[in-house]
Amino acid sequence: MYLSDDEKRLLDGAEGFVRQRCMAYLVELATVSGAERMVDLDGTTDFHVPTTALVPEYLFPIEELRKIVDEGAVFKAPTFANKAPFYGATFVDGWEGCAYPPHNDPAHHAKAMQPDWMELYVRMGLITTYSCASYLASSYWPSVGQHCAWNESSAVPYCNAVLGGRSNIDGSFASSFLAKAPYSGMHVPENRLATVVIDTERLIQTDVEWDVLGFAVGEECGLDVPALIHTAKPTTTQYQKFNTAANTGGSIAMYHVPGATPEAPTLEWALGGKKPAREVRFDEAHLKKTYEKLNDHRGDTVEMVSLGCPHYNLVDLMLLSRKLKGKKVKVPVWIMTVPALYHTAEQLGYKKIFEDAGAVLLSGTCPAAIAGVPGGIRALAVDAAKQAYYISGLFPEADDHLDVFYGTQDDCVDAALTGVWRGEWR
């Protein structure tokens, strides 16, 4: 692999232990991904704090971090924090009202937020967005063609497909600190072209249709780049839903919606003038089967509702506040958002509307990321394919089974107000 003189110095340890570990990690990542060189990142990064590497042998202790921070080290790339510390181990805001020990315990909260590590990262310039959808609050998006290193199901395709940035699913301390990543995958222009065309019998236009389509496309395409035809132009929420679902059914970093996404003014552009390797048509039965696969329940009684996967944007929160205004929910309702938007929702009065209705606004994580729901809850309704898939997987056994209901935000609001599930594929 080609390394510049500066990169060789880093790898040789001439710039100190932490930089050497970071460069060695990126070289190993490059080797695995088949990259022949590094790319200097001119966009942004995010990583799961406080993890210093995704591979144990490249982890380093906090003392080493403290040493370089005291010497003035900063993240070279603008860097955002993905979820609350330790892979979203607890809520950032609203935790006092979640009624789910230990998450409502101040001592647990303080410990989970890891002040030692976080204080050092903040001194390095970390922007503590704490969300799987940090781009909703970052106010600083990559321009078309800028190289980034992001994580997360909804975020990486948002960078590539929606914004025209360039990112693999590989944001790390190393890429943030050195502002480098292996030049492979989505950094390489020809890898961004569509190779599969996905058509659908119905016109895809509602939020749940985009969500279900995402899961089906993920299952069909795996790592391929699809072009989606026979869809309306997606909204921000629908892009988010498609992205998370496509990275749950599969691992989609990039896709095209001809006429909507920036690298695909037409289908021919999306394909780079070539013939697709495959053309697939999802009929009604296929999408209905996908929807039903994401539902895993025996009865119709709902004991809890969780909304906001990926974390709700402000319009999602506004629409939900209109639906809950003046109402009372019958079961616990959790609403997940980004910490910065939690405070905006508070200023806008949405939080008060939720509280008056008996629902709780939370930020920074979600039931799947904290690996559970409050004790005694055996039936959960959600409005996201990803949340349905992962939370079901956490309770697979018959004696530990969690009924999971998946449907639209309206279906979930109805279930919250009645305690009964009436959602179906429509």
Q: Does 88 bind ligand F3S (CB under 6 A)?
A: yes
Nearest C-alpha neighbor of 257 from the set 232, 290, 286? 232
Q: Which of 310, 339, 407, 419 is in the footprint of ligand F3S by CB under 6 A?
A: 310
Between the alpha carbon of residue 225 and those of residues 199, 255, 268, 276, 352, the distances in Å are: 14, 5, 14, 10, 42
Judge whether 156 and 133 are in contact, CB under 8 Å: no
Site for ligand F3S in 241-270 (CB under 6 A): 244
Residue 1 CB, nearest approach to ligand F3S (Å): 33
Q: Which of 52, 114, 153, 409 is in the footprint of ligand F3S by CB under 6 A?
A: 153
Residue 248 CB, nearest approach to ligand F3S (Å): 8
Identify any residues that bridge with 282 across adjacent strands, giving them in sequence order: 200
Site string for ligand F3S, 314-343 (x = CB under 6 A): ----------------------x-------
Judge whether 90 and 100 are in contact, CB under 8 Å: no
Judge whether 147 and 166 are in contact, CB under 8 Å: yes
Q: Which stretch binds ligand F3S (CB under 6 A): 30-38, 200-208, 262-270, 366-374?
A: 366-374
Residue 302 or 336: the one with the smaller Cβ distance to ligand F3S is 336
Residue 197 or 309: the one with the smaller Cβ distance to ligand F3S is 309
Q: Does 313 bind ligand F3S (CB under 6 A)?
A: no
Q: Does 387 bind ligand F3S (CB under 6 A)?
A: yes
Nearest C-alpha neighbor of 224 from the set 199, 256, 202, 200? 256
Residue 91 CB, nearest approach to ligand F3S (Å): 11
Residue 84 CB, nearest approach to ligand F3S (Å): 10
Residue 198 or 309: the one with the smaller Cβ distance to ligand F3S is 309
Q: Does 200 bind ligand F3S (CB under 6 A)?
A: no
Phi then psi for 307, rounded to 5 degrees?
-125, 145
Q: Which stretch binds ligand F3S (CB under 6 A): 19-27, 99-107, 347-355, 362-370?
A: 362-370
CA–chain centroid gap for 187, Å, is: 20
Q: Which of 117, 149, 386, 392 is in the footprint of ligand F3S by CB under 6 A?
A: 386
Residue 332 CB, nearest approach to ligand F3S (Å): 17
Q: Does 78 bind ligand F3S (CB under 6 A)?
A: no
Q: Which of 45, 154, 175, 392 is in the footprint of ligand F3S by CB under 6 A?
A: 154
Q: Which stretch binds ligand F3S (CB under 6 A): 156-164, 226-234, 266-274, 309-317?
A: 309-317
Residue 153 or 237: the one with the smaller Cβ distance to ligand F3S is 153
Q: Does 368 bind ligand F3S (CB under 6 A)?
A: yes
| CA atoms 54, 56, 58, 63: torsion sign | positive
Half-sphere exposure of 252 (CA within 13 A, CB side): 37
Residue 133 CB, nearest approach to ligand F3S (Å): 7
Residue 203 CB, nearest approach to ligand F3S (Å): 26
CA angle, corner 332, sides to 330 and 336, nearest 5? 130
Residues touching ligand F3S, count (CB under 6 A): 16
Other beta carbons less than 10 A from residue 348's beta carbon: 15
Q: Does 137 bind ligand F3S (CB under 6 A)?
A: no
Q: Which stretch binds ligand F3S (CB under 6 A): 12-20, 196-204, 382-390, 409-417?
A: 382-390
- One-letter amino acid identity for 63? E
Q: Which two tokens stand for residue 292?
A: 């039903």
- Contact residues: ligand F3S, CB under 6 A: 83, 88, 132, 153-154, 244, 309-311, 336, 366, 368-369, 386-387, 390
